[in-house]
Structure 1
Amino acid sequence: MSVHESADAATKVAAVLAEAARTGVPCPPVRALLRDQDVEAAYAVQRLYVDRAVAEGRRLVGRKIGLTSPAVQRQLGVDQPDFGALFADMAVPEGQPIAPGRLLQPKVEAEVALVLGTDLPHRDPTVADLLRATAFALPALEIVDSRIADWDITIVDTVADNASCGLYVLGGTPVPLDRVDLRAVAMTLTKNGETVSRGTGADCLGSPLTAALWLASTLAGMGDPLRAGDIVLTGALGPMAVAAEGDAFTARIEGLGTVSTVFAPVAAEGPDS
């Protein structure tokens, strides 16, 4: 495929995904439209999405890391994580219900969020660089979503679809990194009071810090490094859970506290509706 054909394919895929998001109707897998090209072609689609969103006035506030579980990497046939863009309008404050229909096929996972205090511009960041640059950590819920029907995805599909980003919820009590060992933290995620996921920091690429270092290095190498103030969702600490209207989720991450969200129920139709 020529450079011109690749650009045309990326534009077409971006339009297909945008239409799925606009209409609320998931689309078929987009990998065929990219002719099963490599992940770089999918990131070209993602860049079109990000550029369009910024041009529309949306505020880019950070990145999410996906595919941090070795089991999921094996399932998709890859050996590294992926990333997507976080915008301010994706953030859901605790206590604010998620409206019905806002997402297509939501699933919830518990993560450690890092908020940077300084830039991370180096292509070879060290753990010391990351620790100095991080202002604090927070417990987080990422509500992943796919514009691809039935979550029928490969690495190409999910990267093109902004790493299956949906929404995210941040806890409200910042914790400096010298007060918590992120590799050792234990996580429990409950859905309507029942435990649906467990894990530890070590389940996220060995440590959330390892995942964040990968992201910092990757973005610096692309000329778009992490900056002061950026939010980094470092990746799931355990399996994700399917969400539906009316479901309530709470994650407890040892040393970081809790974070909760609820999906608003569909309003009951009255006799005159």
Structure 2
Amino acid sequence: MTFDDLIAHLDQPGIDSDPARDIIHCKPDLSLDEALALQLAVKRRRVAAGDRIVGHQASFTSKGAQALFPSAPVPMVGTLLASLIRDNGAAVTLGSDEYFIETEIAVLLNRDLEGPDLSQAEVLAGVGGFLPAIEVAPLRSGVREGRYSWPHMVAVQKAEGGYVVLGSRLTSPHTLDISLEGCQVSIDGETRAGATGFEALGNPLAVVAGVARRLHAIGEKLHAGQIIITGSLPPPQVITRSMRVATAHFATLGTVTVRFN
């Protein structure tokens, strides 16, 4: 299959929830870099249809998330479209899958970042501010059981069904050490878990550098104005359709809330 054939294969409804359509059945030797290039190409196809790329999302950056999937690539990078972003307090509809709530720090860039070996100081110089974030992430049937290859998981990252909810207050990067920023997540008023920014590869800035490294490997970079979601700090929390609201409380960044239909 050609690169365009693989893009067409991936740009189908339900491609992230059918192990029989795993991309390695089309190209058994597909590398993780090639899978990321395909993912980005699919998102650009959707941009051509009217959507917009707003940034990237990193997965498996905390020990809690890595414990759930110990063989996952770190960080695993997803490309965020505007259609996946929701404002603080928004309501989202849960489907039939199991869902996780992930409490995360979002990084807003004010300059381009590029290269395989960015230092945390170089990343910090490109940060315009931090935002609290919640990711509502579906866990597709078969993922936990290992029925998908990691190239397929990379290629279909942020395909459909999940959302990122952003807080409304931007905090200057020069007013805090983001690795020490504490947070707690509550569901229907019950506190479930807490953590600090350290859980994201030791510092969310290191996550941004890791995303830049992954993109550099396929000839891409991070752009000014993009938002980077740096991974769940507390262990991801399972939610069900009977639950109504989740809130992430940060010590300095403030709060962000999502409601469920």
Global fold match (TM > 0.5): yes
Residue 216 to residue 70, structure 1, CA distance change in 2 (3 Å):
same
Matched ranges for 1:40-119 at <5 A: 40-70=33-63, 72-73=65-66, 75-78=69-72, 80-101=74-95, 104-119=97-112
Change (3 A) 1:56 1:31: closer
The answer (yes or no) to whether the contact 1:85–1:162 under 8 Å persists in 2 is yes
AA at the equivalent of 2:229: L
3-state DSSP of counterpart to 1:197: strand
Aligned to 2:256: 259
* CA-CA distance at 1:20 after TM superposition: 1.0
Shift in CA distance, 116/41, structure 1 to aligned 2, threshold 3 Å: closer
Deviates more, 1:25-34 or 1:122-131: 25-34
State which drifts further: 60-69 or 36-45. Answer: 36-45
C-alpha spacing 1:154/1:229, structure 2 compared with 1 (3 Å): same
Corresponding residue of 1:26:
17
Please name the residue that 2:225 is paired with: 229
- Distance 1:154-1:240 versus aligned 2 partners, 3 A rule: farther
Does structure 1 residue 178 correspond to structure 2 residue 212? no
Contact 1:119/1:228, CA 8 A, preserved across alignment: yes
Equivalent-residue separation in structure 2 for 1:100 and 1:188 (angstroms):
22
Q: TM-score, normalised by structure 2?
A: 0.85
Shift of 1:12: 6.3
Q: CA deviation at 1:19?
A: 2.1
Gap runs ≥5 in structure 1 = 265-273
Give the Cα separation in 1 of the matches to 2:237 and 2:206. 24
If each structure's strand is expressed as a fraction of its own residues, which one has the higher value? 2
Partner of 2:155: 160
Distance 2:32 2:66 in 1: 14
Distance 1:45 1:193 in 2: 41
- 1: CA distance between counterparts of 2:93 and 2:124? 37
Bigger radius of gyration, 1 or 2? 1
Gaps of 5+ in 2: none
Query: What is the CA distance between 1:78 and its match in structure 2?
Result: 4.3
Task: Compare relative contact order (CA 8 Å, sep 6+) and give the higher one, 1 or 2.
Answer: 2
Computed over aligned residues only, the root mean square deviation of the Cα atoms, in angstroms, reads: 2.6
Output one character per residue of 1:115-144: Cα deviation in whole Å (capped at 9) or x when no partner.
011111344322222112111101100112
- Retained in 1: the 8 A contact 2:60–2:73? no
**Alignment: residue pair count:** 253
1:114/1:73 Cα in 2 relative to 1: closer, same or farther (>3 Å)? same
Instruction: Find the counterpart in structure 2 of residue 130 from structure 1.
Output: 123
Q: Say if 1:121 and 1:220, in contact at 8 Å, map to a contact too.
A: yes
State the identity %. Answer: 28
1:267 aligned partner: none
Distance 2:34 2:226 in 1: 25
1:225–1:109 Cα change, 3 Å: same
Which residue pairs with 2:215 in the alignment?
Answer: 219
Q: Report deviation, 1:14.
A: 0.5
151-160 or 237-246, which moves further after superposition?
A: 151-160
8 Å CA contact 2:89–2:258 kept in 1: the answer is yes
Shift of 1:236: 0.9
Preserved contact between residue 68 and residue 205 of structure 1 (Cα < 8 Å): yes
- The answer to whether structure 1 residue 249 and structure 2 residue 246 are counterparts is yes
